[in-house]
Structure 1
C-alpha cells in the first residue's frame, strides 16, 4: 500500500545573503504580508493558506523555492519514492535525529521536505 501524500502549508525561499534583506523588505513592506511572530530569528509571512519562510542561505548564488509534502508514514514514503527512482537529498540541510521526514528532489530539481508531522517547522 502506498502512503498518502498532500501538500504542506510551508514554502521555504532560500535566498543568498546579498539578496536577503531586500527580499524580506519586499514581502513585508512592499507587498505588505503579515509577518509570523514567535519564530525569530526565522522570518516567515502569512501567504494565503500557506506560510512563506525566507531563509538566509549562505553559499547559494540564487534564490530557490523549497516545498513541503506531508504524508502519513515516513518509512512507507521513503520506500515508495525510492522505488519510483526519486532522489533523496538528505545532505542539503540537517533535520535532526527525531525529525520524521527527509528531503527529496523532484525530476526538475525542486527540493521537497517530505514530512510525517503536521507540517509545522
Structure 2
C-alpha cells in the first residue's frame, strides 16, 4: 500500500451558519470583488450555495442552517478511491459519509483536527501498478 497517491483538489467548501451567510457572500462579492454566483442545490443539509472563482480554485459558500460556526472542507483526489480508503482505514482514518450527502464513489474523511475532506477520483490521475 505504499503506492497510494493523494493530491489537493480544486474545490474548497466553507460551511457557513445561516445567520452569517448573506454577510459572507457580500464580503466575497462586494468587498473582495471576486466572481460570485448562486448555484441551485438539492442537498438536505445545505440550503443555498454560491460559487466563487478563487484563483485556480473554486470556493463554495454553503449555507448550513444548523451550524453555529463556520468550517472549511477540502477536496482530496486519488487515482483509486477504494484502494485509498483501505489504506486510510489501515492508518485509523475511517470514512464518515453520514455527515453530508455524498456523491457515489466518494467518501468523507476527517483529519485528527476535524477538518473534513471529500475523497474522490482525480481526473487524469493514473493508479500506480
User: Structure 1 length as normaliser, TM-score?
Assistant: 0.88
Q: Deviations over 1:15-69 (max 9, x none)?
A: 01000111011001111111257x3353111111111000011111000000000
SS at match of 2:36: coil
CA RMSD of superposed structures (Å) = 1.5
Distance 1:58 1:71 in 2: 31
Aligned to 2:127: none
Aligned to 2:86: 79
- State how 1:1-121 maps to structure 2 within 5 Å: 1=1, 2-36=3-37, 39-41=39-41, 42-96=49-103, 99-118=104-123
Distance 1:106 1:88 in 2: 11
User: Unmatched 5+ residue regions in structure 2?
Assistant: 42-48, 124-129
Q: Aligned residues, how many? A: 115
User: Unmatched 5+ residue regions in structure 1?
Assistant: none
